[in-house]
Every structure is written in structure tokens, then in C-alpha cells.
A and B are shown apart, each in its own frame.
Chain A
Amino acid sequence: EAGVAQSPRYKIIEKRQSVAFWCNPISGHATLYWYQQILGQGPKLLIQFQNNGVVDDSQLPKDRFSAERLKGVDSTLKIQPAKLEDSAVYLCASSSRPGINRDPYEQYFGPGTRLTVT
């Protein structure tokens, strides 16, 4: 089974520029999450999708961040315009029911996109 795919793996941009990240979840996984991990901290949820609907975007800075999940599969996260404090790793994760012998809502993480804003 293929894992969660993300691209690009690395991105360097200047402040005020725009950037977009792409995520392809595990096939059949209805729930998709975007997390932001600033250096030295744990990941923080930005947005959660259930199929193509938003479940939680309370921590998404909506003045500059946007995300969509068209057709309930792939997702893109966009930052426009970027600020220095957006430098972080952006992690995509997906989960699905029914459960296995672990938590039924276990999340599988992609490799992340490391964004550097200069």
C-alpha cells in the first residue's frame, strides 16, 4: 500500500511570495489533515477535511492560508503572501475507518514539505 505522498519536499521562497503544497493521501482514506511544525515544536493542526468538506480550520490563518480538497482525494495548501514566521515543515496525514488493532482513527503521515521563507 502506497503511503501519503507530498510535494515538493523542500521549498525556499522570499517573503511576500506565494507557495503551494500538494498532498495525495492513502487510497480510500476519507480524512485528511494538514499540520504545521515549526522548528523545535510539535506539529499543530491547520485544517482537517472529511472527504471534500472542512471539519476544522480554526487554527488556519485564513488571511494568508487556504486549502482545498477537490473530489475528496488530493489536497493543496497555499500560502499567499508568505511571512518569515511561516518557515516550517508542513505535514499531511490521512486516516480512515474501520479500525485495525490500533486506534481506528490512526493517522499516517507523509514525509513533509520543508518551507524556508527568506
Chain B
Amino acid sequence: AQKITQTQPGMFVQEKEAVTLDCTYDTSDQSYGLFWYKQPSSGEMIFLIYQGSYDEQNATEGRYSLNFQKARKSANLVISASQLGDSAMYFCAMREGRDSGYALNFGKGTSLLVTP
């Protein structure tokens, strides 16, 4: 079963607008971590933001914030004031607990295009 679901294959947003990228997850662990990575066309995976399952406040990192709704098992990424350089693939990932070895499970990604 898919552990991370990203339902938006592609998204468009105008420069300076905010955009939300959706992510839902499936786990029975109590302790887990949720991540968002950006992958530009050059291919490197760039860490954006992290949310721990026990964190009570939504994570924020500059223009990135994570809308964490634990009961709904969703961890949406919000990018405020989009910039042309934000155009890239965005991956949501989950790290589960000890039994899974702490490796990351990735979603299929969302392609974001920021237009002028």
C-alpha cells in the first residue's frame, strides 16, 4: 500500500502568490517524521522542511510552512510568495520508526511551475 500520496501531478502558480502542495500519509507508528524535498531539474534533493509526529506546532522555514493535520494524516506544504526559482519537483516523504530502519518513503511528487 502506498504510504505517501501526492494527488497533484502538476501545479501552476503565479509569481508572488502562495501555493499549497498536498500530501497524505499512512502509518501505524506513533513516532514518525515528515519531510518535504525540492528537486530541481539538476537532480539534487534539497531538504525544505521537517515535521515530527509529536510536534504540536506546524513547522516553518522561511517561505515554507507545513500544515500538519495529524488526525487527517495530512502534511501539506505551503509556499508563500512564490518565486520563479521555486519551479521544480516537490516530494513529500515519511520516516517511520525503528522497525523500518528509518529509511524514507517518498510520494510520486508534484511538479510546480511558477509563472511570471
Contacts and interface: CB of A to CB of B under 8 A. Distances in A.
A103 B95 contact: yes
A55 B103 CA distance: 10
A107 interface: yes
A54 B40 CA distance: 31
Contacts of A44: 106
Contacts of B95: 103, 105
Interface of B: prevailing SS = strand
Contacts of B50: 102-103, 106
Interface string A69-97: 00000000000000000000101010100
Contacts of A31: 102
A22 interface: no
Residue among A41, A102, A114 facing the most chain B CB atoms (10 A cut-off) = A102
A53 to B, nearest CB: 11
Interface string B70-105: 000000000000000000000101010000111111
